[in-house]
Structure 1
């Protein structure tokens, strides 16, 4: 249903032309990267300050209008679709780096700053922000989905790198969570509560982030393995041996084929590991040698070292382009994307079972993963409108999640819940779902914050 006239008038008076009910803007903010679909929102707003976000929320709360946060629109589980109608709040005009505190290795930013823009701003400081999900996502969106990526094995996820937040609640109240101190024992961890809440509890308007020193030496390479099992077992052995990887990524033969076609690379069409080492020249040299010896034991060969910054950038650009590259294997297809995470000891079996399941359903589903922390993905390619194929892909995704839970893993390592993983939440959390629902009801009693997401009963 349309935004109530009183709310529409109040928002237009507050924002002027930064409030829009135009179909073109609504459709632009009603798209999904994957197979998830919903009607476009009823309106779009573009705030430029925390005060405006607060005023928008107060209006929407008073008139019971749903509000959905929006960043770069790159999430994969339909997080920002307006399934219950309402207003999409596009945060990308709040894009200022507010303060760099190099001596504290911290930075404060608005939520519309992207990770690439932040690191460009930090170039002269000798510091960088390491969380790298691939897409040039907004930092507010990355915090909201508790994102991670290729560097998580060394630098952690958004959970580990967000120190404090400013958040606007459903009724317009503004709160601050966390501190700039290295640690605190004071009260509930509200920062941790909002990191990963996917906009269901409030709108993030400012983030204080942990920074890291740029490494003195970087080495990266890609190497081929004879089988899927050999590549994944090499990952497990590498982590267990204590070699300090900065990144260790797995791609299967289908993904390697996709890279060759899409990026013009010349990988063998077999499983590969992509690796990176950071540190001093001496430590990097030692780590490279140790990994090379270990990889050789598992049949690794054809090491292709990226020796210049440009070559390293090209290597990781190829990996980050995996989603588009794999879609191109089947022109016109969309995807059901999985991202389970399991304890490292169960990684080889989980990957093997997933590959067998995909083959058994007759699907094309290239696999890639940040396997250094047990997280891997399958991109199950389906044609829009083919309900039988979609059902098969969902069966495979469901069984992957079930196997992850059976060994103490999770239904999503980094993509978040959104629409896609919502039916699986009770299987992972059991009665704890009731606790989450109580928190949601306490902070958002009118259920206007991104309704229809995450919790299976509360929305």
Structure 2
């Protein structure tokens, strides 16, 4: 197996100087929306990964596809890197300007371009966040279900092929993006896909750009599938004597075909951390947090079946949250687990790994990985979208402690190797970025990565689109 590349190699790649002529062209085109202020550059050289700040040379704030095309055309003319920026919530170093260049910030691009409720589709600018979208379309009786936890931008979610808590029922961004507007490495604007539910017309360029992590182009608009708001929604929690019991319950639910909308695992540590932050008073044991969507009768039937299966496997204290307020409180606590862990361990940074395995192998990988984490002595917690075999193991390391960081990376490496050996993936939803470049070869093979590299160079011959991510060129 190939170990992840060391930070020094990843972060100390030669930077490409931003020519004065390029900066002058950006300032002429964008005026005050082009910034070289240190604070602005540092903000755009930081995400939620454990890597240090690696700032771009300049930041351009774009309001439209035309703005993005102009910025990329200037970068292409001078062969300087372009790094797309949405909300800064990525976890694998996607935003770090490892070779310098221009950060293209699309966070101001927040327009709902076109809502077609009769077709269950919507087109949005890339800076629209999932929470904003659902607020603005609520009166239509529709919603967008992909929920990665963070209030990420939809352009960024498409770029990383995000999924999240609802994926077990509604799928991931791969299944729910119908079309894109993309600025290519030359500054050309192209459109992929249509609003039709299917097409056999040529190469599937939409799927090529979904998950490309900004290495092939800058996504500026996204056309998405929407879903009717369910008639009834109910959430429930159930505590278990062990992670094994909770996971085996999940496996049985999946195998008998219960159409559960969400099925989230929190280990004892995660429950303790969210209790401290959100004052929930939950029993500090492994817990499943579940949600059911459908008709009143369907939700009731699903819940009764789940309760029966959970009870057979040691599940206790099955509690309901039927009001919107109660459900929101539970899910808000789950989504804050990342920050709750750091708050409970002051001065720490999170080294987190997400893997996804076939559901039948989930208990196997979790049992071994938890045993290793316990033996390490590092604080850690587990949360997971276990309904589809995806989970996150987060180690909390002291800021600047190289030994703890190395230990966390070693444990993370072992867990990813285990996932790949079980016919799973090194990343279920975070993406490769910087952090998992070495694992991509292990998972896909050298030949497949070489083919990816060929596609990259065909579309981006000067390697200006988010260079140094996914694989080296």
Normalised TM-score (structure 2): 0.95
Mapped partners of 1:429, 1:243: distance in 2:
32
In structure 2, the residue matched to 1:217 is 232
Residue 328 of structure 1: CA displacement?
1.8
1:451 aligns with 2:453: no
Mapped partners of 1:90, 1:382: distance in 2:
30
In structure 1, the residue matched to 2:392 is 377
What's the secondary structure of 1:334's corresponding residue? strand
Equivalence map 1:128-167=2 (5 Å):
128-167=143-182
Equivalence map 1:390-409=2 (5 Å):
390-409=405-424
- Unmatched tracts of structure 1, length 5 or more: none
Contact kept, 8 Å, 2:17 with 2:80, in 1: the verdict is no
In structure 2, the residue matched to 1:303 is 318
Any idea what the Cα deviations from partners look like across 1:351-410, whole Å, max 9, x if unmatched?
Answer: 111101112222211001000000000111111221111111111111111111111100
Mapped partners of 2:466, 2:90: distance in 1:
14
Contact kept, 8 Å, 2:93 with 2:433, in 1: the verdict is yes
In structure 2, the residue matched to 1:355 is 370
What's the secondary structure of 2:275's corresponding residue? helix
What's the secondary structure of 2:409's corresponding residue? helix
Residue 34 of structure 1: CA displacement?
2.8
* Counterpart selection for 1:337 from 337, 342, 352: 352
In structure 1, the residue matched to 2:125 is 110
In structure 1, the residue matched to 2:95 is 80
In structure 1, the residue matched to 2:222 is 207
Contact kept, 8 Å, 1:177 with 1:191, in 2: the verdict is yes
Normalised TM-score (structure 1): 0.98
Equivalence map 1:216-295=2 (5 Å):
216-295=231-310
1:328 aligns with 2:332: no
Mapped partners of 1:141, 1:354: distance in 2:
30
Mapped partners of 2:344, 2:288: distance in 1:
20
In structure 1, the residue matched to 2:4 is none
Mapped partners of 2:168, 2:220: distance in 1:
28
* Counterpart selection for 1:119 from 119, 131, 134: 134
Contact kept, 8 Å, 1:37 with 1:78, in 2: the verdict is no
In structure 2, the residue matched to 1:436 is 452
Any idea what the Cα deviations from partners look like across 1:161-196, whole Å, max 9, x if unmatched?
Answer: 100001000110111111111101111111001001
Residue 2 of structure 1: CA displacement?
4.6
Mapped partners of 1:39, 1:153: distance in 2:
35
Residue 303 of structure 1: CA displacement?
1.6
- Unmatched tracts of structure 2, length 5 or more: 1-15
Mapped partners of 1:184, 1:294: distance in 2:
41
Any idea what the Cα deviations from partners look like across 1:42-67, whole Å, max 9, x if unmatched?
Answer: 11001111112111111101101111
Mapped partners of 1:417, 1:357: distance in 2:
24
* Alignment coverage as a number of residue pairs: 457
Mapped partners of 1:181, 1:32: distance in 2:
35
Q: Alignment RMSD, CA only?
A: 0.9
What's the secondary structure of 2:114's corresponding residue? strand
In structure 2, the residue matched to 1:39 is 54
Mapped partners of 2:276, 2:375: distance in 1:
25
Residue 32 of structure 1: CA displacement?
2.2
Contact kept, 8 Å, 2:273 with 2:340, in 1: the verdict is yes
